């Protein structure tokens, strides 16, 4: 049986907030922040990991709000959570522990059902930026492969790819993109960014060149890195036409969301075999064993972990709890829909 952490269990006059699953490393940061809900809501937190829909639904059967940590909510599951289509739940608020919530829950349907969805902001700018550069460096210097070869007795080595002097093209220039730019400056790289609602003052301060056309940016860059949030306006915004303008030898990194790319376009581009890529996000997660991305030569794949580090967890957990407290006290903190 999973361990359950509860607060104010006798206060049945208060609404119930359920966290049906959680990452181990988040348990203590959440426990630290739960006092913010004192006299506002009861909390029931399950401390194990599960993605089984029936288990998640059973654990939240009497919940008024759900903290969503690391699981997707398909439409049928959403209806059962909220008492539609024969469902018995009565959830009226989902507090999502991340950004890009549109890839986890149908925002149109939550609006139609008057169900609040909250996400969090700027909690992992440094975490994602650092992972972005971990992927860039792995593509450039192949440390993981070389480590395995040396341990196997192979001293052949490999030729490195210099970052100094190369052009890094950023598609997306919010908190994460700006942090990536600062790191790139330390490597002596030239940084350019797609000019979509970018504050030129910020770009100038970081020495970043703004380019109006995304395709031009991709064609001129040695390394392309995506940092757009997933919104209704950004879904599929990176098209096959733009990806096809990347020159042979370009390095491509995505730590944002797969859904900002036209469906199937990235796989088709990578299977041409003339660019190398490192990905942390996918159209289907977990990545199926038969996904053609697994067959791309030299590709680096990580399991959607760019956002996960100790610093990010502190901000993430606080914002999730604040979102729930705001919902029950009539506020609008971090409302996503």
pLDDT digits (tens, 9 = 90+) for 154-195: 999 999 999 999 999 999 999 999 999 999 999 999 999 999
Please tell me the predicted confidence (pLDDT) of residue 1: 61
pLDDT digits (tens, 9 = 90+) for 19-35: 999 999 999 999 999 99
- Work out the average pLDDT over 139-152: 97
Please tell me the predicted confidence (pLDDT) of residue 43: 98
Q: Catalytic residue at 276? A: no
Which fold is adopted by the domain 4-123+310-328?
Answer: Rossmann fold (3.40.50)
pLDDT digits (tens, 9 = 90+) for 187-226: 999 999 999 889 999 999 999 999 999 999 999 999 999 9
The three-state DSSP-derived secondary structure of the chain is CCCEEEECCCCCCCCEEEECCCCHHHHHHHHHHHHHHCCCCEEEEECCCCCCHHHHHHHCCCCCEEEECCCCCCHHHHHHHHCCCCCCCCCCEEEECCCCHHHCCCHHHHHHCCCEEECCCCCCHHHHHHHHHHHHHHHHHCHHHHHHHHHCCCCCCCCCCCCCCCEEEEECCCHHHHHHHHHHHHCCCEEEEECCCCCHHHHHHCCCEEECCHHHHHHHCCEEEECCCCCCCCCCCECHHHHCCCCCCCEEEECCCHHHECCCHHHHHHCCCCCEEEECCCCCCCCCCCCHHHHCCCCEECCCCCCCCHHHHHHHHHHHHHHHHHHHCCCCCCECC
Is 4-123+310-328's fold the same as 125-301's?
A: yes
- Work out the average pLDDT over 98-112: 91
**How is the chain split into domains, by residue range?**
4-123+310-328, 125-301
- Work out the average pLDDT over 260-288: 96
- Work out the average pLDDT over 276-302: 96
pLDDT digits (tens, 9 = 90+) for 290-326: 999 999 999 999 999 999 999 999 999 999 999 999 9
Please tell me the predicted confidence (pLDDT) of residue 95: 98
- Work out the average pLDDT over 103-114: 93
pLDDT digits (tens, 9 = 90+) for 228-259: 998 889 999 999 999 999 999 999 999 999 99
> CATH assignment of 125-301, given 3.40.50.410, 3.40.50.720, 3.40.47.10, 1.20.1290.10?
3.40.50.720
Please tell me the predicted confidence (pLDDT) of residue 86: 80
Please tell me the predicted confidence (pLDDT) of residue 153: 98
Candidate list 80, 190, 276, 304, residue with the active-site label: 304
As beta bridge partners, residue 191 has 168
Candidate list 6, 28, 285, 311, residue with the active-site label: 285
Q: Is the pLDDT of residue 17 over 80?
A: yes
- Work out the average pLDDT over 266-272: 97
Please tell me the predicted confidence (pLDDT) of residue 88: 85
Cis peptide before 286 (omega within 30 of 0): yes
Q: Is the pLDDT of residue 10 over 80?
A: yes
Please tell me the predicted confidence (pLDDT) of residue 263: 97
Q: How confident is the model at residue 149 (pLDDT cuts 50, 70, 90)?
A: very high
- Work out the average pLDDT over 103-123: 94
Q: Catalytic residue at 304? A: yes
The 10 Å Cβ neighbour count of residue 154 is 11
Q: pLDDT averaged over the chain?
A: 96
Candidate list 116, 126, 190, 257, residue with the active-site label: 257
């Amino acid at each position: 049986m999973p361990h359950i952490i509860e607060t104010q269990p006798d206060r049945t006059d208060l609404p119930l907030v359920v966290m049906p699953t959680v990452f181990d490393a988040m348990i203590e940061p959440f426990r630290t922040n739960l006092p913010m809900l004192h006299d506002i809501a009861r909390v029931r937190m399950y401390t194990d990991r599960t993605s089984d829909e029936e288990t998640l639904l059973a654990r939240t059967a009497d919940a008024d709000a759900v903290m969503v940590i690391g699981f997707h909510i398909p439409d049928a599951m959403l209806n059962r959570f909220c008492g539609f289509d024969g469902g018995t739940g009565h959830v009226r608020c989902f507090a999502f522990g991340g950004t890009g919530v549109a890839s986890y829950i149908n925002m149109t349907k939550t609006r139609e059902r008057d169900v609040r969805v909250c996400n969090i902001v700027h909690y992992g700018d440094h975490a994602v930026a650092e992972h972005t550069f971990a992927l860039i460096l792995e593509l450039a210097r192949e440390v993981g492969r070389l480590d395995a070869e040396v341990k196997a007795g192979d001293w052949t080595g490999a030729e490195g790819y210099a970052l100094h002097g190369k052009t890094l093209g950023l598609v997306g220039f919010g908190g994460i993109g700006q942090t990536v730019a600062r790191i790139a400056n330390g490597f002596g790289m030239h940084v350019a960014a797609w000019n979509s609602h970018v504050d030129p003052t910020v770009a100038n301060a970081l020495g970043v060149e703004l380019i109006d056309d995304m395709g031009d940016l991709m064609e001129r860059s040695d390394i392309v890195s995506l940092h757009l949030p997933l919104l209704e306006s950004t879904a599929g915004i990176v098209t096959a036409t733009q990806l096809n303008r990347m020159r042979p030898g370009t390095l491509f990194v995505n730590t944002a969301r797969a859904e900002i790319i036209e469906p199937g376009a990235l796989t088709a581009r990578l299977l041409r075999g003339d660019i190398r890529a490192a990905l942390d996000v996918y159209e289907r997660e977990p990545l199926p064993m038969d996904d053609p991305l697994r067959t791309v030569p030299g590709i680096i794949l990580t399991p959607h972990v760019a956002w996960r580090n100790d610093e990010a967890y502190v901000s993430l957990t606080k914002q999730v709890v604040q979102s729930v407290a705001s919902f029950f006290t009539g506020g609008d903190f971090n409302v996503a829909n």
